[in-house]
Amino acid sequence: MIRVTWTGAAGLRFETDKEVILIDPYYTRVDIFDTLFKRIAPDPAAIAAALPDLEKVAAIVVGHTHSDHALDVPWIAARSACKVVGSHSLETLMSLGGLPGRTRVCADNETLRLTDSAGVTMIRSAHGLLSLGKGVPLDGEIRATSTLPMKAGGYRVGTVFAPLLELDGKRFLHVGSANFDETHLRGHCCDVLFLCVPGWHRRQDYPRRLIEMTRPSSVVLFHYDNFSKPHVPGGKTRRMPLIDMPGLIHATRNCAPAVDVRVPEIGAPMDF
C-alpha cells in the first residue's frame, strides 16, 4: 500500500513502510505581501512541523522552480541524504543554497531510479498560462548571479516537467501546473493522475486529452489551495479564488465517467 498526502500547493508526499518520496514540497506558505515585496526564505518551524520524519525522505522530485514548488527544497536537502531530481534551474537554486552538484539534472523524458522500489520519468511538460495572453509567469531560468534569500520574482520557472513516479509498481503522474505537452506525454500511462486546478480552463482540452492519453483509474484535483495563507492541520483547505472547481469536476466526470475523482483536503492521506 502507498499512502499519498497532498501537503499544499503542488506538494505530494508518498509513503511506504520503507521510505518517503516528495514531489514539490512547499510548507513555508509565504504570505502575499512578502511574496510581492520582500526577499523570501524557507520557514524552518513550518517545515519541521510538516515533515517531522525528514530523515525518512529518500528523494525529492521538482517539477519546476517557481517559489511555491522549490523554495523549501535546498533547506530540506541540506538536512537529509535524499536524492534531488529536477531541472538545470533547480541545480542553480541548490548551488545558491550551498549545495552545488547535489541535483540530478534531467533531460526531457529521462527515466531515473530513485530507490530499489521507486523510479521517475521526467516527462517534459509546460506551465499554465497567465490570463489575457500574457504567457508563462516568471519565464526563464533562476540566475546563477542571484543570492539567497531572493524575491519570489527570482524563482523563474526553469524547464517544466510532469514527473511520472513509479512506486511499488503503481504509477502516479504529477501535473503540477495546468498545462501539458502532448508530444512528450504520448505513450505514458498512469494509475493516478494529479491535476492542477488553477488556470485549467485556459488550456484547451484540459483535462480531457490528459485523461484520454494517460488512462488513469483515479484523478486527484490539487494545488487549489490559497497557499499564501497558513493551513491549520486538520482544518478545511482554504481555496484559491476564481478557480471553478465544479467546472473541472464536471469536465473530468464528463470525459471519464468510470474514473474515481477525488478532491482531498490538505494533509488527508489517500491510500492506493
SS3 4: strand
**Residue 169 Cβ vs Zn ion, minimum distance, rounded to whole Å:** 30
| DSSP character string of 38-65 | SEE---HHHHHHH-TTGGGEEEEE-S--
Nearest to Zn ion of 66, 231 (CB atom): 66
Site for Zn ion in 118-137 (CB under 5 A): none
Q: Counting contacts by CB under 5 A, is residue 174 touching Zn ion? A: no
**Residue 64 Cβ vs Zn ion, minimum distance, rounded to whole Å:** 6
Nearest to Zn ion of 13, 66 (CB atom): 66
Strands 118-124 and 110-113 come out as antiparallel
Site for Zn ion in 201-240 (CB under 5 A): none
What sign has the CA pseudo-torsion 213, 125, 113, 4? negative
**Residue 126 Cβ vs Zn ion, minimum distance, rounded to whole Å:** 11
Nearest to Zn ion of 128, 207 (CB atom): 128
Strands 161-167 and 170-175 come out as antiparallel
Q: Counting contacts by CB under 5 A, is residue 171 touching Zn ion? A: no
Choose, by CB under 5 A, the member of 13, 29, 66, 156 that binds Zn ion. 66
Instruction: Check: CB of residue 230 under 8 Å from CB of residue 29.
Output: yes
Binding footprint of Zn ion, residue count (CB under 5 A): 1
Q: Counting contacts by CB under 5 A, is residue 83 touching Zn ion? A: no
Q: Counting contacts by CB under 5 A, is residue 104 touching Zn ion? A: no
Q: Cell 536537502 identifies what position?
A: 77
Instruction: Check: CB of residue 16 under 8 Å from CB of residue 63.
Output: no
Binding site for Zn ion (CB under 5 A): 66
